[in-house]
Chain A
Amino acid sequence: MSAPLSFITRRPPRQSSAPAVTGAKLSLNAAVIKPPAEEKEKSTKRNRIGNGFVLDNDHRMVTLTKLQSATGSLKIKFENAGGLADALWELHDGTQGDQKNIPLDAGKRPIFSINGNFDEVIIGLRHVRALRRLVFYTYPGVKVSIETFDGQILTCGDNLRLLSIYQLNGELYLRYSGSQFASREALTSTLAFNKV
């Protein structure tokens, strides 16, 4: 495991409002990820997580509140994963990697931890603003659910292949995609993880 990165600081820059994010790769539109035609956005409504909410092809994006985005941890369960999942991460400074080189935050914790055989992922949220995006690629038969610190749970549809988590102005956006990739290279290339 690598040493704590100096650029992950405990404090965000002083400012009266949330910082602007200029990174082109953070775009939530189709500039980076071009979904298949059948996956066109069904709605621009801003969904909030709540018990019973299902993230699927009809409800492809959900936004956590600023409290949910930065308190405690986000717990993601991958039932029946059996190791069949991949993780990619990108920090706000553009640093990228996968599950083999997860950096530590200022609290000396990995920015996310993978437990068991990819049965569970814990994402630390104290330094969430250092994170730009996290992407998890799963396989058929894996059931995915996400729990916030306040006990709110959302489940993902059975056809989930790509769970993307974007941090924008302190809010986490969780995005569903059923897109499949022929290879890991195709995945990293399509998602602009060029430095992995």
Chain B
Amino acid sequence: MPSQVLTKGANVSLTKLMPTASEITIGFSWKVIESAGFKTEVVPCAIACGQDGKAVSPEHVAFFNQLEAAEGSVQYQSDGTLSGGDDEQIDINLKSIPSNITTIAFVLYVNPDLRDPGTLESMRSGAVRVLDRAGNEVLRYDVTSSDTVGVSALMVAELYLRNGEWKFRAVGQGYTNGVKDVAEHYGYDK
């Protein structure tokens, strides 16, 4: 099955595209322009949300320091072993996602170190993709340069439930104030 490349805003029904798949992997890749100074450190995360579009709790955010979310249905793999050169991977078990989770947002953010953190403008070749359990790329969204202008966080894509189908949408929505904006938007800042 050839991979589909999504444009910003496009969505695909995973339930129809991969009817037998219970587990998928979301792969993230990027490059950062190197400089002699501090490095801009990009972090991917997955935010499991309820019907109100908010994170169910701060524990529903999977990232490098919180490897599981949504009762283990979302698992961050810091050195994902599936093929394709991803920098980080997050495994999703579609069958075990709790019923109160209707959206999982995938975000890339710059770690907001107080010492010159940088922005996503220094990121190149950013991409998010959906893989099957064999490591075959099924869907892909390539982050565009316009997505990252002036932002420190980017909601690259989301997995969401509509009428019993899990769908994957390329989003490309930036956040000027980075992960602080993301936490506020998804309601896990308190």
Contact = CB atoms under 8 A, between A and B. Distances in A.
Interface of A: 10-18, 65-67, 69-73, 75, 106-109, 113, 122, 124-126, 128-129, 149-150, 170
Size class of the contact patch on chain B: 20 to 34
Nearest to B111: A126
Contact of A150 (B77, B79, B117, B189): B189
A170 B37 CA distance: 27
A109 B68 contact: no
A73 B114 contact: yes
A69 B117 CA distance: 17
24 contacts: A12-B64, A12-B78, A13-B79, A14-B77, A14-B81, A16-B75, A65-B58, A66-B59, A67-B61, A67-B65, A67-B183, A67-B188, A69-B65, A70-B65, A70-B66, A71-B111, A72-B111, A72-B114, A72-B117, A107-B111, A108-B39, A122-B115, A124-B113, A125-B113
B56 interface: no
B112 A129 contact: no
Contacts of B58: 65, 67
A109 B113 contact: yes
Interface string B43-79: 1000000000000001101011111100000010111
Interface string B122-133: 000000000000
Nearest to B39: A107
A16 B38 CA distance: 30
A53 B161 CA distance: 40
A116 B50 CA distance: 45
Interface in B98-119: 111-115, 117
Q: Specify the main secondary structure of chain A where it touches its partner.
A: loop
A118 B115 CA distance: 16
The winner among B58, B78, B112, B114 for most chain A CB atoms within 10 A is B114
A3 B114 CA distance: 21
A69 B61 CA distance: 13
A109 B179 contact: no
The winner among B59, B65, B113, B179 for most chain A CB atoms within 10 A is B65
B8 interface: no
Contacts of B59: 66
Contact of B64 (A70, A75, A124, A149): A70
Contact of A72 (B64, B78, B81, B113): B113
Given A126-B41, A128-B65, A129-B65, A71 B112 contact: yes
A72 B68 CA distance: 20
B179 A71 contact: yes
Contacts of B167: none
Contacts of A18: 67
Given A69-B65, A72-B111, 12 more contacts: A13-B79, A14-B77, A14-B81, A16-B68, A16-B75, A67-B58, A67-B66, A71-B111, A109-B113, A126-B113, A149-B112, A150-B189
Contacts of B66: 66-67, 70, 170
A107 B38 CA distance: 6
Given A107-B39, A126-B43, A150 B112 contact: no
Contact of A109 (B38, B75, B180): B38
The winner among A69, A75, A149 for most chain B CB atoms within 10 A is A149
Contacts of B80: 14
